[in-house]
Amino acid sequence: MHIVRGSTARHHTHTAMEAPLGARLTLALSIFAFLSLLTTAFSQQIQILNAERRVDLTSHIVRVFLTLKVENTGTAPATEILLAFPPTQVDHLAVVKAQAATGKRKKQTYVPLDVKPTELPDAPNGTKYFIISLLSPLNSGETATLEVLYILTHSLEPFPAEISQSEPQLVYYHDSAIILSPYHIKQQTTFIKTPTAKVESFTRVEPTNRVSTELKYGPYEDRPPYSFSPIIVHFENNNPFAVVEEIVREVEISHWGNLQITEHYKLVHTGARHKGVFSRVDYQSRPSFSGVSSFKHLLARLPPRVHSVYYRDEIGNISSSHLRTDNRKSELEIEPRYPLFGGWKATFVIGYGLPLQDFLFESSDGKRYLNFSFGCPLAETSVDKLTIKVVLPEGSKDPSAVVPFSVEQRLETKYSYLDVVGRTVLVLEKKNLVPEHNSPFQVYYTFNQIFMLAEPLMLVSAFFFFFVACVAYLHIDLSIRK
């Protein structure tokens, strides 16, 4: 039941320190309550018996686990459940996953459910919806338990926005104490987990209490649809706010047995901006006080059997990296050239080769397919924009991609070593990614083995003609006079 989030709420964040929170909250609440009376038409047949929400704020990626126990109170069977998000959250929403718990308590299994964004005509104040399709229709009077995970990026706002080297990093988290839902919720609780016990302030919506790193809102009883109660948590978070602004991954398939991956990164620290002096002597001698929110290590998880790894930027190799390999995974620990403080940027390239047989397979219909992992291999970073370019061998036809989530696709042509017609490049683009997107995707294509010989034959014939020309030159007398 969120209303004027677009104007009021944002305004609210700016005035939070000056105006008393309570007065504004009551005002907002009354507006929400008023509006909720207007828009309750379609959702009356389902109500939520119990909702439990756990918000994990330990890193800069916000993960929210929502457990809903829904009941069909209407007469017709229900096949879909709606999730509502305020529009500001939707922009930062990277993943929404849902699964249904089936079976009894002991041998409970989870079945993933289909989640799709949807539009409703009478959505109040720009509320956005996701629709969960149930496996089997929920008959009248039945209950079901749903587990929902959604992940938000760029949702922690540093305050103060600029800090010096010796200060810790404090951030705001905005949310609602009451779960925004188109349904009536009988009972709900929200737990917010902060990385440390250092919480500067938080909005109280009674009953509220805090035990070390956990804030508990609720339980709240019998809240009407679209109830909303804005809260702000101001806490210390010194985890690296490593955000990849843009990553371009180029996967080049060579049927001679190699898969070459080149990844171009644009990295930025999105935490509180560093201001003033950077003192190396403080940074080196007092690491626990100085630059606590900065980071200098990053971990990239690469596939096993990786070889020829390099890590460089536009001005040369970056020597500070370590590669650990075993037969299940490879870990590449990289250090940017300099420690990254808030607002500092770095660009670099990681490249590596992989054995082709681990990733390229032949499907039953004679097509080949590449099975590779989507997403960014850096641990615990969010990605604003990811582009994967799958460079197929020269002469490949009919490329098609199978990706578990929606992406933008297009085709390009690339000319590489001695290409004549060019290689087909399948470009996949997606915005706002989190590590949860690192799931495999497939690219299918057809390829005739004979094309592999094209380039060696070209070289052979070039040399052949060169030698023929040499022989001819030596045997022809070009002098005019004898």
Partner 1 sequence: MADPENAKEATTLRYAFGNVLSFFILLLIGVLAFWIRLFSVIKYESVIHEFDPYFNYRVTQFLTKNGIYDFWNWFDDRTWYPLGRVIGGTVYPGLTLTAGTIWWILNSLNIPLSVETVCVFTAPIFSAFASWATYLLTKEVKGAGAGLTAAALLAMVPSYISRSVAGSYDNEAVAIFALIFTFYLYIKTLNTGSLFYATLNALAYFYMVCSWGGYTFIINLIPMHVLLCIVTGRYSSRLYIAYAPLVVLGTLLAALVPVVGFNAVMTSEHFASFLVFIIIHVVAFVYYIKGILSPKMFKVAVTLVVSVGLVVCCAVMAILIALVASSPTKGWSGRSLSLLDPTYASKYIPIIASVSEHQPPTWPSYFMDINVLAFLVPAGIIACFLPLSDASSFVVLYIVTSVYFSGVMVRLMLVLAPAACVMSGIALSESFSVFTRSIKFQLHGLSGSSQVDSGDASSSTVVAQNDAGKAEKTEDTAKERPSKKSKKKEKGIVDKPSLKAKIERRLLVLPFEASIFAILLLVLLGAFYVVHCVWAAAEAYSAPSIVLTSYSHDGGLHVFDDFREAYAWLSHNTEVDDKVASWWDYGYQTTAMANRTVIVDNNTWNNTHIATVGTAMSSPEKAAWEIFNSLDVKYVLVVFGGLVGYPSDDINKFLWMVRIGGGVFPHIKEPDYLRDGQYRIDSQATPTMLNCLMYKLSYYRFVETDGRGFDRVRQTEIGKKNFKLTHFEEVFTTHHWMVRIYKLKPPRNRIRGKTKKPRSQKTSSTTRTKRSAATKRNPWH
Q: Does 285 sit near partner 1 (CB under 8 A)? A: yes
Cα 378 to Cα 333: distance, rounded to the nearest angstrom: 9
For the CB of residue 320, give the shortest distance to partner 1 in the complex, in Å.
8
Among 116, 305, 345, 397, binds partner 1 (CB under 8 A): 345
Among 338, 361, 464, 465, binds partner 1 (CB under 8 A): 338
- Per-residue binder mask for partner 1 (CB under 8 A), 62-81, x = binder: --------------------
For the CB of residue 283, give the shortest distance to partner 1 in the complex, in Å.
9
For the CB of residue 416, give the shortest distance to partner 1 in the complex, in Å.
6
Q: Does 322 sit near partner 1 (CB under 8 A)? A: no
Enter the tokens of residue 225.
Answer: 């649809």
Q: How many residues in the shown chain lie near partner 1 by CB under 8 A?
A: 32
Q: Does 133 sit near partner 1 (CB under 8 A)? A: no
For residues 302-321, which are near partner 1 according to CB under 8 A?
313, 315-320
For the CB of residue 262, give the shortest distance to partner 1 in the complex, in Å.
12
Cα 156 to Cα 319: distance, rounded to the nearest angstrom: 33
Among 279, 325, 373, 446, binds partner 1 (CB under 8 A): 279
254 versus 446: smaller Cβ distance to partner 1: 254
Q: Does 276 sit near partner 1 (CB under 8 A)? A: yes
Q: Does 337 sit near partner 1 (CB under 8 A)? A: yes
184 versus 269: smaller Cβ distance to partner 1: 269
Q: Does 280 sit near partner 1 (CB under 8 A)? A: yes
364 versus 479: smaller Cβ distance to partner 1: 479
For residues 245-264, which are near partner 1 according to CB under 8 A?
none
- Per-residue binder mask for partner 1 (CB under 8 A), 347-366, x = binder: x-------------------
- Per-residue binder mask for partner 1 (CB under 8 A), 412-451, x = binder: ---xxxxxx-------------------------------
Cα 181 to Cα 51: distance, rounded to the nearest angstrom: 10
Cα 145 to Cα 241: distance, rounded to the nearest angstrom: 34
Q: Does 461 sit near partner 1 (CB under 8 A)? A: no
Among 170, 346, 425, 428, binds partner 1 (CB under 8 A): 346
For the CB of residue 466, give the shortest distance to partner 1 in the complex, in Å.
14
For the CB of residue 276, give the shortest distance to partner 1 in the complex, in Å.
7
Q: Does 288 sit near partner 1 (CB under 8 A)? A: no
Binding footprint of partner 1 on the chain (CB under 8 A):
276-281, 284-285, 313, 315-320, 337-338, 343-347, 415-420, 477, 479, 481-482
